[in-house]
Chain A
Amino acid sequence: MKTMIWQAWALGLGFVVMASGATAQVSGGQWQPKVEIPWNRYYRYDELLQHMQSLKQAYPDFVELEDIGKSTQGQPMRVLILTDQRTGNHASKPGMWVDGNVHGNEVQGGEATIYLAWWLLEHAETNPRAKALLESRTFYLLPSVNPDGRNHWFDAANTPHSSRTGVQPTDNDQDGQFDEDPMDDLDGDGEILTMRKKVPLGMGTHRLDRDDPRILVPVEGDQKGDYIVLGQEGIDNDGDGRINEDDLGGYDMNRNWPSDWQPNHIQYGAGDYPLCYPETACIARFLYAHPNVAAVQSFHNSGGMILRGPGEESIRYPREDIQVYDKLGQEGELILPFYRYMIIYKDLYNVHGGFVTWTYESLGIYSFTNELWASPQYWGKDREQTGNWFATRTSQQLEFNDSVLLGDVFVDWHPFQHPTYGDIEIGGFKRQHGRVAPSFMIEEMLHRNALFCARHAEEIAEVTVEAPQVEDLGGGLARILVDLSNSKLMNSRSAMAADHHIGVPDFVSLQGEGIQVLASGLVADRYHPERMQANVLEPGRVALEAGVPGHGRVTVGWLVRGSGDFVVRYTAEKAANREIAGKLGQQ
């Protein structure tokens, strides 16, 4: 019998992150970005597009811009594709999708999305981890899912809460007419405020707060009220006896996604059918065409939340994935003071047809929604001291208005002659207050949220194919074992994807010209590799339906005959492909 000496060596042919020798960013405020973007204000959609263009011009090797569709009003749905193109095409790397502003009034997600690109680019040369992210990941960044609604927030009079919708005319009051009775800026100050009316004592539902008459307090028990609240500024435009009952649009694009989509009578704002809006449809097409997306963040406002699904109690998430979510969510709570990691249906409310529930449940992608800005941040106090967890008491908000903003965000009550109600008063908070951070606090909000995304992206599976281990079984037979290890938190395939056969499994193949593969399979016990569940049907290739677990490894074994060079290839939708060479030889 010939003496056989089996050799194998590893040769990493896949992408390898090189340790950067660049120095860290200079501290002390001496940093000079290539692209200056003032992060102390919010931008109209055309200005956001201009920022994207500026980044592309400054960083042509890192930024591509792709129009994936058009909004209802024909504005481009423009995605900034961010990756170091010198280390590979964007589709060849696992990716993260980040968007914002699906609700027209939740504007700061747009700035946060661009901030993420800007910060990583500006640190690409000085921060090794930013550099590595750009080299090994792709970010698909859509600053506004609802550019028409965004511009409406800037251009039209609005309340502090309007308006979530897109701008397709909708018949909210089922009278056959569309958007015919919107809110009206009666006093022409560019804001939609609240209307109240003083009535004889005892006829009212409210009274003035004794400490601050700007505040209306509901009467209780035997108290007598002398004010009634008449809703937002408006008149009966269509003469049907109702006010403001058919405002602009009237739907919610974050209820229009396919997973657990329910019609309007069950889920307000769902639209006629899943993906019926041009904005949602083009995003879905894009995500189906980019199976490399392994992480999703969708920025909303407000309340200080890091949200994950499910949006409905009956939908179950696998335990392995919840562990991933929990770890990221808990780190998010550290990154984002005042924010809480929460489950949508349990801690917020039921959402049918939400975006991040769809990307996880239907596409198998670990996905979060952050609700940017928490009003307790006005005073930097604990939630319990400032009201409940999503809102600060009105008195404290007025104090902030008075002391920190010199009255900038509250319009004092002033008289108005209303065609239906006669003498009334108009007043209240402006749209710049409540849901969006005040200008001097914007950058911190953007940075912390953007960097939470960076951390999420860092934890996308990174699989290494370790050196093949070869065992001579005698008689010309050998067993080759290869470990695949994942150095990151996220599984290369979420358990949701594995359980429901979403996407394509990861595959590991072994090929060599002089080598006949007789059997292959996953090896559960590396000390008893003979117990592997042998696949003889297509032995050259092993399907990993569950992928490679986060911070874990799987062992794949091959029973082979022959000699010569071979290559082990790992391919995955949501992790970088890898391969390693080996040799099965005779001495």
Chain B
Amino acid sequence: MAAAQEPDEPPPPEPPQDLTAPPSGYLNADSLRDELLKLEKSYGRLELSRLRVTLDETPIYLATFRSPQFAATRPEALIIANLEGDRPVATEVAMAIIRDLATSGSPWDKVGTLHVIPVANPDAYARVMAGQLPTRGAPVDEDRDGRLDENGPSDVDGDGKILWLRAPTQAGHWYANPKDPRASEPVEGASPKPGAFQLRREGWDEDGDRRYVEDPPGGIQVDANFPHLWPQYEPKAGPYPLSEPESLILAQFLLSRKKLAWVLVLDDEDNLASPPKGVDKVDQYSRDPLQEDALFLKAWGERLYPKKAKDDSDEPDPRWTKPESGPQGAGNLADWAYFQLGLFTMESAIWTMPAEGGDADATTETKRLAWSDEHYKRGAFTPWKDFEHPEMGKVQIGGWSPLVLNNPPAEWLTDLGVRYMKFVDGLAADFARLEWTEVHVQPLDGEGVLEIRAKLANVGFLPTTSAMEAKTRSKLPIMVELRLPEGSRVLVGNARSQIQRLEGGGGAEDLRWIVQVPKGSAAPVLYAQCNTAGEATYTLE
């Protein structure tokens, strides 16, 4: 079932040296907008829309590429990137796909419609790329003191960065790894650890309650605000599902696209690098997809991550290493799209800092520090520095810069973009496709009574809908119609009927009618239509 990787895929180029930590070299809110507008102006293929505005009155841009020939009848697909704003790499990959599709021909020209939302959370993205926290203007009273957002992080030591703060205390939950004291490791077990500290965001007690950075700006997250397993009592989930303009806009868009067959979410979770095995039953509490659908995730995952590197090297390439999936969040868009809309839903985290190699004692943190030492030359990790905090006493300030753990050096974005462009090009061939086969017409008498037998088959890779959709029934079934000339009548069978679903790779349903057609009239026509598989017409001669 899995499509093989393309044989001519080149090995990844050598990584450049002296890499700078992101966001250096990345787009920002202004340059992204400017590029989209320029592409729209220069290339007719790109249709740029603005979905309604966010809390900061920024539009969510939607790039649409329609097949000139098939847009009205063929299926659609959607790529959504960067739901919390802190995955600029996802935006870069989405922009690479947009650039590619806008400027040159692609398999999509002959297939259907692809929508790309390069930034699903423009407010948080704009803040992140301006060096702030990934927040939106939706405050939460995290410390329940009746005041909103009154104590966020700040640059205590004046070095221009908001990093991390180690505050020594016996009751601390962290300690410095003896092998690499830069690494902060969690204390396991109940016994106190010498040298233990609390690991906090850099900041002050701005509201005098002896707590630090306990009520930072914003708090409601777009990707916790969708209806499936919405975590009702978590403040970050919002007061009710789709309470936020971004999540509501996205949900309404997905609901409005009746021909949508799949969604690719580029964000922190991943089901392609290590696809789930799936389960045989689902209910309203499920987190894992049905086995039948998980097989497609596996096939797609194998395309994105071929089993063996092309250069036969045993060493994993740092750019193409499988990312770690972020924790499975409740109330996220991807789960909603799959479990409630029944859409095939891929998730890619694209890149996380590799944590590989090292000796037996190496921890994720020391491995990442080693990786960072080797690859980054600037800006990734700031060594811990003693600092006399006016409120907390002697502390250390330093640690990972924002974004570095989940976004690669900008120098690698081009390669990553090419990789995903090829992957998305490959997906164009996957849609379900209807075809009439084995059509037989048999006269039963000399008076125009005919028996019509036919098979309606799905010759595409995907089934017409996911196995999950067979439960949610959120798509229209396949509509089948026998169109007869005037004066005809159906003696056996239904002129109009429905088929709920056809498997991919030749899944078919037998159909049969007995009709009476006046002599000399036009030929009857078999017609089938499916929102996720297009149309099939067959004229019975």
Contacts and interface: CB of A to CB of B under 8 A. Distances in A.
Contacts of B283: 266
Nearest to A496: B233
Contact of B208 (A288, A507, A538): A538
B476 A174 contact: yes
Given A258-B232, A273-B241, A274-B242, A504 B144 contact: yes
Most buried by B among A261, A273, A361: A273
B239 interface: yes
A361 B232 contact: yes
Contacts of B240: 258, 274-275, 284, 362
A295 to B, nearest CB: 20
Contact of A240 (B233, B472, B474, B496): B496
Contacts of B504: none
A327 interface: no
A241 interface: yes
A518 interface: no
Contacts of B233: 500-502
A261 B331 CA distance: 12
A261 B241 contact: yes
A221 interface: no
Given A262-B284, A274-B240, A538 B209 contact: yes
Q: What is the interface of chain A mostly: helix, strand, loop, or mixed?
A: loop
A263 B469 CA distance: 12
Interface in A260-283: 261-266, 272-275
Q: What is the interface of chain B mostly: helix, strand, loop, or mixed?
A: loop
Interface residues of A, number: 32
Nearest to B339: A263
A254 to B, nearest CB: 16
A254 B498 CA distance: 31
Interface string B199-214: 0000000001111000
A562 to B, nearest CB: 20
Contacts of A264: 472-474
B232 A176 contact: no
B6 to A, nearest CB: 38
A69 interface: no
B363 interface: no
A537 B472 contact: no
B476 A543 contact: no
B432 to A, nearest CB: 18
B145 A174 contact: no
B340 interface: yes
Contact of B473 (A259, A265, A500, A504): A265
Nearest to B226: A273
B208 A273 contact: no
A174 B498 contact: yes
Contacts of B146: 504-505, 507, 543
Given A176-B479, A272-B255, A500-B233, A537 B209 contact: yes
Interface string B119-151: 000000000000000000000010011100000
B383 to A, nearest CB: 33
A266 B474 CA distance: 12
B120 to A, nearest CB: 17
Contacts of B141: 504
Contact of B498 (A175, A284, A288): A175
B528 to A, nearest CB: 13
Nearest to B341: A263
A265 B251 contact: no
Interface string A337-368: 00000000000000000000000011000000
A262 B340 CA distance: 9
Given A258-B232, A262-B284, A505-B144, 20 more contacts: A171-B476, A174-B477, A258-B230, A264-B472, A265-B473, A272-B251, A273-B241, A274-B241, A274-B242, A361-B232, A362-B240, A500-B232, A501-B144, A501-B233, A504-B144, A537-B210, A538-B208, A538-B209, A543-B146, A545-B144
Interface of B: 141, 144-146, 208-211, 227, 230, 232-233, 235, 239-242, 251, 255, 283-284, 340, 471-474, 476-477, 479, 494, 496, 498
Interface of A: 171, 174-176, 240-241, 258-259, 261-266, 272-275, 284, 288, 361-362, 500-502, 504-505, 507, 537-538, 543, 545
Closest 9 CB pairs of A and B: A258-B240, A500-B233, A263-B340, A537-B209, A537-B210, A265-B472, A274-B241, A262-B284, A504-B146
